[in-house]
């Protein structure tokens, strides 16, 4: 079934124009439809709010700092099974795992550390809804699906 997901190119990747371009091309090459796209930067508070579920974790502070350290690019992507396909394309969160098990994945190729890992993708239908709403408050998924 046709599904929407939220994909984010994080500050480490946006900082490098060639990497940003390569990631954009990866989206196009993998049959995603770009429904919305937005360049933005977070305050510390945005970052804390988005990642509040990780607030007890040892990496929370560095994650919050990193995600509010510079510009990002967010996309709403559509495809059948979009959530799983985008996560497969990204590869594992941890950079050593990405390098060894999925060297061709985005994180396997470009990930710097477990925190500075180039991209984000929603992990479920529920989180996709929440995250799309967070980045694109004016977007209405029901209306978009009706038009398609």
Annotated binding-site residues for ATP read 10, 59, 87, 93, 107, 117
Q: Work out how close the CB of 63 gets to ligand CMP at its nearest, in angstroms, rounded to a whole number.
A: 5
Sheet with 72-80, strands from edge to edge, namely 33-40, 72-80, 2-9, 119-121
Told to check if 96 binds ligand CMP by CB under 6 A, we report: no
Question: Please, which residue, 88 or 114, has the CB nearer to ligand CMP?
Answer: 114
Structure tokens at 6: 């939220």
Q: Work out how close the CB of 59 gets to ligand CMP at its nearest, in angstroms, rounded to a whole number.
A: 3
Q: Total residues at the site for ligand CMP (CB under 6 A)?
A: 7
Any catalytic annotation for residue 16?
no
Residues 73 and 14 sit within 8 Å (Cβ to Cβ): yes
User: 144: how many CB neighbours lie within 10 A of its CB?
Assistant: 14
Part in contact with ligand CMP (CB under 6 A); list of ranges 39-47, 73-81, 110-118, 128-136: 110-118
Nearest Cα to 37, choosing from 18, 63, 14? 14
Structure tokens at 50: 């988005």
Question: Which residues of the chain form contacts with ligand CMP (CB under 6 A)?
Answer: 59, 63, 93, 114-115, 117, 120
């Amino acid at each position: 079934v046709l599904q929407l997901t939220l994909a984010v190119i994080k500050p480490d990747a946006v900082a490098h124009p060639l990497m940003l371009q390569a990631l954009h091309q990866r989206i196009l090459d993998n049959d995603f439809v770009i429904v919305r796209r937005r360049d933005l930067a977070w305050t510390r508070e945005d970052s804390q709010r988005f990642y509040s579920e990780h607030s007890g974790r040892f990496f929370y502070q560095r994650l919050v700092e990193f995600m509010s350290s510079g510009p990002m690019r967010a996309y709403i992507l559509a495809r059948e099974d979009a959530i799983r396909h985008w996560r497969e394309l990204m590869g594992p969160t941890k950079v050593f795992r990405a390098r060894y098990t999925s060297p061709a994945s985005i994180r396997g190729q470009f990930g710097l550390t477990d925190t500075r890992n180039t991209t984000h993708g929603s992990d479920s239908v529920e989180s996709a809804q929440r995250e799309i709403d967070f980045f694109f408050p004016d977007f209405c998924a029901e209306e978009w699906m009706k038009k398609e």
